[in-house]
Structure 1
Amino acid sequence: MKSKKQRPRPDYRDGLLCQAVRLSDGLQVILKKLELDSPEFEISVLFSSPPLSLDPRNHCVPVFQVLKYAEFGILVLPLLRKFDDPPFDTGIQFMHQYLVAHRDCTKLNIMMDPTKLYPKGFVPERPYTKADDSGFVSPSCIRTACSPRYFLIDFGHSRRYDPADGTPHEWVLRGGDKTAPEHRNPDALQCSPFPTDIYYLGNLLREYFLDTKNYCNPTRIGLDFLRPLVEDMVKENPYDRPTIDDVVMRFDTIVNSLSRCRLQALTQLGNQPLFFPFAYVARRFKFALMLKSPLPQIATSPSRVLSATRDFYTSKRQQIDVPTT
């Protein structure tokens, strides 16, 4: 490995990321140092090792290589971009199948593989800049044309559980999203992390694609078909939320009920007048001639995976007190 900006130092802090280049092919990568006995290291290696790494449903960030240094492991990871740059549920199902709760699957920990969109790379800390700092970089195509993969990253809060121990109850641990109702109840110091994962995903969809508070607009036009599912995912009582199996199957049913025209429709902000730019119309015509599907091709159809351990996720559905504000 050869660092482009800095070389890994023996004294760098736990979890620090470092940009580097793989000499064999010039691929931009990220180095991350972790303690060998940490849960994050264990879970990262678990999902990057066969047979789990070969499953197409696995959307955990892959580990290319593990470098050992004393009691630390240095993970060699791909360089990724934020999921919404430029302007994605199966991964969590795969983790839950193996009794792993992510516990922080929020906007900062869902990333996109930019290899096809930015084949010449970019500067990680300035993703709008070319890798050689020679100017601005823009995607070489749109996502419909190349179907990039999305990955879950950062397993620092993640834990793996044993069904023999019963339904897990963890001490409340607030990550990037601090709005989970079960985390706002001062009398509930512990809760099951699996329904909280469902809330995090639902709230991400609600805030970024439906109610878009980050853009100071009430809604995005054209995505209301997601609202019933999202409202169930963010219910106040965590035990009233669907399991990840329910979410995946319902989402698949929703998508299959939509026409090609609806799936290719331009999504716009609610406070803007409707418009159809020439580039958008031209792309739709081009994809129609090419018979290009608006959805990526998946290797396997969605299915339920939790049947054998469903009680592990759904037992103890007693009502709990949660704040209403």
Structure 2
Amino acid sequence: MVLVTGATGILGRVVALELLKRGKKVRAAKRSGSNLQEVRDSYRFYTEDPDAVFNAIEWVEVDFDDLTSLQNALENVDEVYHCAAKVGFNPKDEKEMYHTNTKGTTNILYACEQSSVKKFLYISTVAVLDNFNEQGELDEDSDFNSKEEHSAYAISKHMAEMEVWRASAEGLNAAIINPGMIIGSGGWSQSSGQIFSVFENNRFTFPGGSAYVDVRDVAEIAAELMDKNIFGERFIAVSGMKTYEEIGKAIRKKLGLKEPVVLKKSQLGIGRVFNVLLGWLIPPLRMVTKSNIAAVTSFNTISGRKIEDRLNFRFIPVNESLEFHLNNYINDKKS
């Protein structure tokens, strides 16, 4: 039996599907208010028999603040795929991010110590990576640098990683995947699932860029690492790099919209001044923080070669991934 946390999220649901394909018994953690019907519906994007997939999963309600709840969810579980996370860049979400990402990970690792769990896979983010290699790239040796400017999200995920490595040092077979921005279908209003609606509803974008990866690739990598018993290491999962302008152009062209307008870094700096002066009065201005500006104006090269070499893995190209999931988004809006 395996447990997938965050199974109603854009990634967790596909991890559950991948594990079912490999013949594993899957237990999936959900919150009390989770929309399971939306998850059931989204499986039609990935399989010809979505109802069969959904019904094969054992859904359990889990409270990450309740040790008994976690222990019950872990009963007879051998492997944990910890995908649950709070993603956000709004200062008002900082407390929830630390609670969900850091405290939640700490709690489930503690529960694992008193359970039958033998393997633990944690989904982190490339946002925790600092320090470039000799080729000017970020790779698996790019340790977090506390002196750099980071979002609360990145800090909370780094702290969660520290808990995973602590558990690993104490004997738990654990590994970490650091994906780029995940492109997937369903959950259109959740975390990176908003990529299509954001570019549809907003013409403005930013001068930086990001690493991207298809949700199906991350799920396959997670299952492969666990099946091959590869532990004590981190693995970056990125298919390629794209500027926000490139992504915006591709999405808006497909949707029949005008090309995006790129905001200059100087314009964002002015926005930060207005945040200081008027952020208390105009909530959207509170998003224009120093760490957020740094995030949306940077464009770092991130290497995915380690996972390609270790697993002989070939990522789905970013353009192909965008085409597949954007078509799903468009068709879903029509239905």
Task: Assess same fold via TM > 0.5.
Answer: no
The structure with higher relative contact order (CA 8 Å, sep 6+) is 2
Structure with the larger helix share: 2
